[in-house]
Chain A
């Protein structure tokens, strides 16, 4: 099976712009989660989508949003970029079913805001 893919891998944006990141989960996985990873804050949960519905949301401002499509692919959008949004954005997919499930991560999108 192909793994989780994220596009683009690298992105440079200017403060005030907006950006959209894309994630394609492992085939058959219906849950997609997004995380922000920075050296100072570590891994922070942004949101989780399941069957096109946002199931959970972390403690991030409304500038961060996401959505999931019927094929389980997900996008996250950050509007009015700030310098502090520079980070590695990781997407993870999982297959909720019976039991407790692990997540499978993509390689991430490295966003640099200048």
Chain B
């Protein structure tokens, strides 16, 4: 079955430091991978997606993600974290039925 895993429930970083939010996936066939962010009392906002091509995908708000086929990972990164990046981040994979399957989410806290 297609699935994604986010191994960290919580990630804490200091403002200005680089951040990484981890995601690993399990799919048969080509993976279609997504990152979403959720702010309090809001729906999810699309950040970026990987379909094919360049392994480094650039998205909204300065975020990027690196697709690594050998490690079956799709980690979200940002070179310099902002306090306003504090939110809940979800990795997702679109499976063979075209259903979107989400990870459990990682709460990112950026401290001033």
Known: A100-B49, A107-B43. A56 touches B99 (CB 8 A): yes
- Judge whether A45 and B99 touch: CB under 8 Å: yes
Q: Is the interface of A mostly helix, strand, loop or mixed?
A: strand
Interface residues of A (CB under 8 A from B): 4, 33, 35, 42-43, 45, 48, 55-56, 58, 90, 92, 99-100, 102-108
Residue in A43, A58, A100 whose beta carbon sits within 8 Å of that of B94 in the complex: A100
- Judge whether A90 and B51 touch: CB under 8 Å: no
Residue in A56, A102, A106 whose beta carbon sits within 8 Å of that of B97 in the complex: A56
A14 to B102, CA, bound (A): 30
A90 to B42, CA, bound (A): 10
Q: Of all chain B residues, which has the CB nearest A33?
A: B100
Interface residues of B (CB under 8 A from A): 32, 34, 36, 41-46, 49, 51, 90, 94, 97-105
- Judge whether B102 and A106 touch: CB under 8 Å: no
- Judge whether A105 and B44 touch: CB under 8 Å: yes
Could you say which residues of chain A place their CB within 8 Å of the CB of B101? Answer: 45
Known: A56-B98, A99-B51, A100-B49. A42 touches B44 (CB 8 A): no
In the complex, how many angstroms separate the beta carbon of A74 from the nearest chain B beta carbon?
Answer: 15
- Judge whether B45 and A43 touch: CB under 8 Å: no
Q: Of all chain A residues, which has the CB nearest B94?
A: A100
- Judge whether B99 and A42 touch: CB under 8 Å: no
Known: A42-B105, A43-B90, A99-B51. A108 touches B97 (CB 8 A): no
